[in-house]
């Protein structure tokens, strides 16, 4: 018989798949002897079966639930119906991968019209009892019966202002009783049924609702964003309640063992007295810094510090801990590895190594590749900031970044405007899980309520999105769509700039500058490099990009695209002269001019590379890309080339291709116009030799694109080598260079053995190889690829993540065969997939030498290669 429910005593941290992260960690903390209220967990398997079998709890699960409840009652000596010892529980969701704020939780379950009186009597605190009941009515209504939370909240807030109560906790017992009565009517009006009075009915319906919530929109969006599979399901934890809302000796809070924004090794947390559950996170009242707890309840603070330290040592990573204090008794309700900013992630990883808690390899695994990419985001320019008008300076720096954009006041508008291409900044008093899609669409998020652990802050940090919370010096009015700040007002569509690192908001757009990288970043990247086996090169051709790539740790250039160099006005006209000339002589004249330009380019590039390898790809795109398109342009080209308009048009028409991507491009250009590649090779080697005379031993690697047969390659190779040899004699100097090919047709893969004997290197061009293997045109795939993914025909977009089964197999075979006949051949990947984390995990298993990607993806790719190496495993070379 399958075991669907585990008591906390039966679980442990390693059982995350089954018990979810929250359940497994609650069990683990109990094992460690920490003060955790008792409970039990319904497994993720129960969830998946529930969802797959008509959304009904099976008899087996129900039976087990009754058994567990009975045992639980015995352990706690409490029950739902006991006047002496009343049992109240929380029902908490928790998947294997934490999804903060995404899933549902219900507190104080077990209360009803009768039990609330018992609770009031037992605790001698009617206010407290009815506060618990109104919370249950709200949470249960929203989660189980889909009653909009706003219906409860609006009434609650109106009630508060009607009687001028500042805080929730100021509402007296009668008030809360009245609110409960109102809430029960909301059930009748909205759900057409009363709030269920029977605790066991409440419990079953709550469990079912949590399972169901795995399927709701916001959970789906979050999973998509974080690539969390549907099939893992969520567990449900049933846990005895402890009460943070039972007076001023009680409270609830959240703390991180280290600062989640900066990474500083100091406890960082917030709490509220006389509050329950999500009050801190929801940003209803601005919470207190955990430092104040030292004064308010010194021994609880002391005890908490110890627990925090113990948990961090145990999990070997920064922890995000939820706790509740009931009458000065500390309870720990959750721990997990804390979400953090990219900077903090690096800082913490470096500190943990230096503190001797983890190894370098573990450190490499502790930082998400996504974080590295975020670190390269720009900051505001200091001078520009100085000159800018500040709107708010009271906000908290919840998640760093520098963003400018139009103000919007709702998630829907954010989404809509972003879809139209606008940069938007979402401004809300506070955010809630319903806002998730709007948050994704925005460049930054600003709230007036809530602290560093509020929903907005935590979710934004998880997304790596700029966020400022608690801007108490401005007012956000979402009804009138207005922001009031000390010196004026703003309307929807006005532009502001948000400094997430400082927590400041400015008027208008503020100029940005490149990110500066910390010493920790350098240290961490150094470790990644030590751990990694694959090299990372960059795809780049402009000096700025190349310099950036080298600063980011690239080991060379994996792809210089020469076609980009032909688009400057003067060069373009020579290129056009070349294409549109009838005689070889004219073509060579035009080429000689182009060659001068190319030499300058190559010299700059090779000089920047120094002794690091640089692959230069000879001209690849179809010629018509260089031709004039508009009539105006054609007239001007005709004049420049001294031909008649009709002659030019005629010639252009003759170059027209039905399917240019499969047409006259790549090495086929040089088969028809050999002088083209010869000129380029000559320019490369001349530049290299010139640099050699200056003492720079550069390493150009000349790459012939789109090869699909050996003789195609050998024909061009012979011409190029012949030219280079003559050059060497002329200049009385020998050049270091390699000659290889780009592997981007399936045929090239099939003949890898023979081709490899002729080549010094192979470089996989995964874009074309994917296009040609599937026969999908990359430019048209948008029309059908979504349908493929919706229908589960493809589970990835093969242009973004390597198709392991097909293209991956080609790459594997080709690599193995090439290395077996030519062990010194260098093999790399230079297509888009060279920078993709999941693709890199596969590439790392092959006998490849490097991956290459755009400069800004280099650090992320470097970390990917290191992580892949730690995870290990290499496919066997036959």
Query: Could you list the residues that contact Mg ion (CB under 5 A)?
Result: 105, 322, 334
* Residue 439 Cβ vs Mg ion, minimum distance, rounded to whole Å: 16
Instruction: Name which position in 44, 259, 324, 447 contacts ligand ADP (CB under 6 A).
Output: 324
Short-list 414, 418, 388, CA closest to 499: 388
Whether 423 is catalytic: no
64, 252, 431, 447: which one binds ligand ADP (CB under 6 A): 252
Of 332 and 759, the one with the shorter C-beta distance to Mg ion is 332
Strands 251-256 and 557-561: unpaired
CA atoms within 13 A on the CB side of 39: 30
Cβ 499 vs Cβ 506: under 8 Å? yes
Q: With CB under 6 A as the contact rule, which of the stretches 70-78, 100-108, 459-467, 644-652 interacts with ligand ADP?
A: 100-108
**Token pair for residue 150?**
């706003």
CB-facing half-sphere around the CA of 361: CA atoms within 13 A: 8
User: Cβ(132)–Cβ(243) under 8 Å?
Assistant: yes
Binding mask 231-250 for ligand ADP (x = CB under 6 A): --------xxxx--------
Binding partner of residue 37 among ligand ADP, Mg ion, none, CB under 5 to 8 Å per kind? ligand ADP
Distance of closest approach, residue 64 Cβ to ligand ADP, in angstroms? 21
Structure token digits, residue 306: 């110890």
Q: What is the rounded CA–CA span in Å between residue 449 and residue 455?
A: 10
Give per-residue burial for 223-253: e unless 16+ CB within 10 Å, then b.
beeeebeeebbbbbbbbbbbbbbbbeebbbb
Q: Binder to ligand ADP among 334, 366, 406, 581 (CB under 6 A)?
A: 334
Using CB atoms within 10 Å of the CB of residue 70, give its burial: 0 to 12 exposed, 13 to 18 middle, 19+ buried.
Answer: exposed
Q: Smaller CB distance to Mg ion: residue 282 or 794?
A: 282
CB of 537 to ligand ADP, least distance (A): 42
Residue 37 DSSP code: -
Phi and psi torsions of 208, nearest 5°: -60, -40
Q: Of 138 and 812, which CB lies nearer to ligand ADP in the complex structure?
A: 138
The single residue among 11, 37, 283, 400 that binds ligand ADP, judged by CB under 6 A, is: 37
CB 428 within 8 A of CB 476: yes
Q: Answer with the entry of ligand ADP, Mg ion, none that 107 interacts with (C-beta below 5 to 8 A by kind).
A: ligand ADP
Q: Tell me the number of residues near ligand ADP by CB under 6 A.
A: 17
Smaller CB distance to ligand ADP: residue 87 or 619? 87
Strands 319-326 and 251-256, how do they pair?
antiparallel
Extract the tokens encoding 66: 């009754």
**Is residue 814 a contact residue for ligand ADP (CB under 6 A)?**
no
Q: How far is the CB of 152 from ligand ADP (least distance, A)?
A: 17
Is 89 or 531 the residue whose CB approaches ligand ADP more closely?
89
Q: How far is the CB of 334 from Mg ion (least distance, A)?
A: 4
Which one of the listed residues 132, 667, 830, 853 is annotated catalytic? 830
Question: What span, in angstroms and rounded, lies between the C-alpha atoms of 811 and 34?
Answer: 52
Binding-site partner at residue 712 among ligand ADP, Mg ion, none, CB < 5 to 8 Å by type: none
Question: Considering only 12-20, 101-109, 394-402, 708-716, which stretch makes contact with ligand ADP by CB under 6 A?
Answer: 101-109
Tokens of 131: 């506060």
Q: Which of 90, 562, 680, 815 binds ligand ADP (CB under 6 A)?
A: 90
Least distance (Å) from ligand ADP to the CB of residue 218? 12
- Binding residue for ligand ADP (CB under 6 A) from 101, 397, 400, 558? 101
Q: Which of 431, 817 has the CB closer to Mg ion?
A: 431
C-alpha angle 370/375/381, rounded to 5°?
145
At residue 444, φ and ψ (nearest 5 deg) are -155, 160
CB 874 within 8 A of CB 561: no
Task: Confirm if 830 and 849 have CB atoms less than 8 A apart.
Answer: no
Q: How far is the CB of 128 from Mg ion (least distance, A)?
A: 22
**Of 462 and 835, which has the nearer Cβ to ligand ADP?**
462
**Nearest distance from residue 475's CB to Mg ion, in Å?**
27
Which residue out of 455, 466, 471, 749 is catalytically annotated?
A: 455
Name which of 96, 392, 123 is nearest 223 in CA terms.
96
H/E stretch holding 390 reads strand 390-392
698 is a catalytic site residue: no
24 vs 241, which CB is nearer to ligand ADP?
241
Q: Which is nearer to ligand ADP, 99 or 739 (CB)?
A: 99
Pick 281 or 425: Cβ nearer ligand ADP = 281
Strand order in the sheet with 390-392: 390-392, 504-507, 495-499, 402-408, 424-428, 444-447, 466-469, 396-399
What is the sign, positive or negative, of the torsion defined by CA atoms of 157, 162, 167, 173? negative
401 close to 425: Cβ distance less than 8 angstroms: no
- Distance, CA of 5 to CA of 161 (rounded, Å): 45
Closer CB to ligand ADP, 363 or 463, in the complex: 463
CB of 134 to Mg ion, least distance (A): 18
Residue 237: CB minimum distance to ligand ADP, A: 7
Q: Helix (H) and strand (E) counts for the chain?
A: 34, 31
With CB cut-offs between 5 and 8 Å by kind, which of Mg ion, ligand ADP, none does residue 614 bind? none
Give the x/- contact pattern for ligand ADP in 104-123, rule: CB under 6 A: -x-x----------------
Binds 260: which of Mg ion, ligand ADP, none (CB < 5-8 Å by kind) = none
Q: Residue 420 CB, nearest distance to ligand ADP (Å)?
A: 33
Letter string b/e over residues 568-579, b meaning 16 or more CB atoms within 10 A of that residue's CB: eeebebbbbbbb
Place of tokens 């409440």: 202
**Tokens at 467, concatenated:** 């966020």
Q: Which of 283, 472, 263, 502 is nearest to 403 (CA)?
A: 502
Q: What residues line the site for ligand ADP (CB under 6 A)?
A: 37, 90, 92, 101, 105, 107, 239-242, 252, 277-278, 322, 324, 333-334
Q: Annotated active-site positions, please?
A: 455, 830
């Amino acid at each position: 018989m399958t075991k669907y429910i585990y008591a906390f005593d039966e679980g442990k941290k390693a059982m995350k798949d089954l018990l979810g992260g929250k359940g497994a960690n609650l069990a683990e903390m109990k094992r460690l002897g920490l003060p955790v209220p008792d409970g039990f967990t319904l497994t993720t398997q129960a969830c998946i079966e529930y969802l797959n079998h008509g959304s009904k709890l099976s008899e087996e699960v129900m039976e087990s639930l009754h058994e567990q409840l009975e045992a639980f009652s015995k352990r706690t000596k409490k029950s739902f119906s006991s006047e002496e010892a009343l049992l109240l529980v929380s029902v908490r969701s928790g998947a294997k991968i934490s999804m903060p704020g995404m899933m549902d939780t219900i507190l104080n379950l077990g209360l009803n019209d009768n039990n609330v009186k018992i609770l009031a009597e037992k605790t001698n605190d009617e206010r407290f009892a009815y506060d618990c009941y109104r919370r249950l009515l709200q949470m249960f209504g929203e989660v189980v019966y889909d009653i909009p939370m706003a219906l409860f909240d609006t009434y609650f807030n109106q009630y508060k202002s009607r009687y001028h109560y500042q805080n929730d906790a100021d509402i007296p017992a009668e008030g809360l009783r009245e609110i409960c009565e109102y809430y029960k009517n909301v059930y009748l009006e909205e759900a057409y049924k009363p709030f269920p009075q029977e605790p066991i009915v409440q419990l079953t319906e709550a469990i079912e609702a949590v399972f169901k919530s795995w399927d709701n929109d916001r959970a789906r969006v979050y999973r998509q964003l974080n690539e969390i599979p549907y099939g893992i399901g969520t567990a449900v934890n049933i846990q005895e309640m402890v009460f943070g809302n039972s007076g001023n000796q009680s409270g609830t809070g959240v703390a991180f063992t280290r600062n989640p924004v900066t990474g500083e090794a100091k406890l960082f947390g917030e709490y509220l007295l006389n509050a329950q559950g999500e009050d801190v996170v929801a940003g209803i009242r601005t919470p207190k810094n955990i430092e104040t707890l030292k004064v308010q309840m010194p021994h609880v603070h002391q005890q908490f510090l110890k627990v925090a330290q113990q948990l961090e040592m145990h999990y070997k990573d920064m922890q995000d801990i939820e706790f509740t204090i009931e009458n000065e008794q500390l309870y720990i309700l959750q721990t997990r590895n804390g979400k953090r900013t990219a900077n903090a992630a690096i800082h913490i990883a470096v500190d943990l190594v230096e503190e001797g808690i983890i190894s370098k390899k573990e450190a490499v695994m502790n930082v998400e590749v996504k974080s590295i990419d975020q670190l390269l985001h720009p900051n505001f320019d200091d001078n520009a900031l100085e000159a800018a008008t500040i709107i708010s300076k009271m906000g908290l720096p919840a998640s760093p970044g520098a963003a400018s954009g139009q103000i919007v006041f709702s998630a829907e508008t954010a989404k809509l405007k972003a879809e139209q291409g606008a940069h938007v900044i979402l401004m809300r008093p506070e955010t809630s899980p319903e806002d998730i899609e709007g948050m994704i669409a925005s460049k930054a998020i600003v709230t007036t309520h809530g602290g560093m652990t509020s929903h907005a802050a935590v979710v934004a940090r998880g997304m790596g999105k700029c966020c400022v919370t608690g801007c108490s010096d401005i007012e956000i009015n979402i009804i009138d769509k207005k922001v009031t700040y000390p010196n004026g007002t703003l309307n929807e569509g006005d532009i502001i700039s948000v400094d997430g690192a400082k927590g400041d908001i400015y008027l208008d757009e503020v100029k940005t500058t490149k990110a500066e990288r910390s010493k920790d970043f350098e240290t961490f990247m150094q470790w990644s490099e030590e751990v990694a086996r694959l090299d990372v090169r960059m795809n780049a051709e402009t000096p700025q990009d190349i310099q950036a790539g080298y600063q980011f740790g690239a080991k060379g250039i994996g792809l210089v695209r020469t076609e980009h160099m032909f688009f400057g006005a003067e060069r373009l006209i020579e290129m056009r002269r070349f294409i549109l000339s009838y005689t070889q002589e004219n073509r060579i004249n035009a080429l000689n001019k182009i060659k001068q330009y190319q030499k300058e380019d190559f010299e700059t590039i090779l000089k920047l590379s120094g002794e690091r390898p640089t692959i230069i790809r000879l001209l690849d795109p179809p010629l018509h890309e260089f031709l004039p398109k508009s009539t105006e342009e054609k007239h001007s080209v005709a004049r420049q080339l001294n031909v008649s308009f009709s002659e030019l048009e005629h010639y252009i028409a003759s170059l027209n291709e039905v399917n240019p991507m499969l047409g006259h491009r790549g090495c086929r250009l040089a088969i028809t116009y050999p002088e083209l590649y010869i000129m380029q090779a000559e320019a490369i080697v001349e530049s290299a030799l010139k640099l050699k005379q200056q003492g720079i031993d550069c390493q150009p690697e000349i790459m012939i694109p789109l090869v699909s047969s050996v003789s195609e390659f050998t024909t061009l190779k012979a011409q190029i080598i012949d030219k280079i040899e003559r050059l060497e004699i002329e200049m009385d100097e020998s050049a270091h260079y390699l000659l290889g090919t780009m592997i981007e047709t399936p045929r090239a893969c099939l003949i890898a053995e023979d081709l490899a004997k002729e080549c010094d290197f192979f470089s996989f061009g995964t874009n074309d190889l994917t296009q040609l293997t599937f026969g999908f045109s990359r430019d048209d795939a948008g029309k059908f690829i979504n349908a493929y993914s919706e229908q589960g025909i493809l589970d990835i977009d093969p242009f973004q993540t390597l198709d392991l089964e097909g293209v991956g197999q080609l790459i594997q075979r080709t690599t193995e065969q090439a290395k077996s006949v030519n062990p010194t051949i260098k093999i790399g990947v230079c297509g888009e997939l060279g920078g993709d984390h999941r693709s890199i995990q596969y590439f790392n298993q092959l006998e490849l030498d490097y991956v290459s990607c755009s400069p800004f993806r280099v650090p992320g790719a470097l970390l990917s290669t290191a992580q892949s190496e730690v995870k290990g495993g290499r496919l066997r070379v036959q």
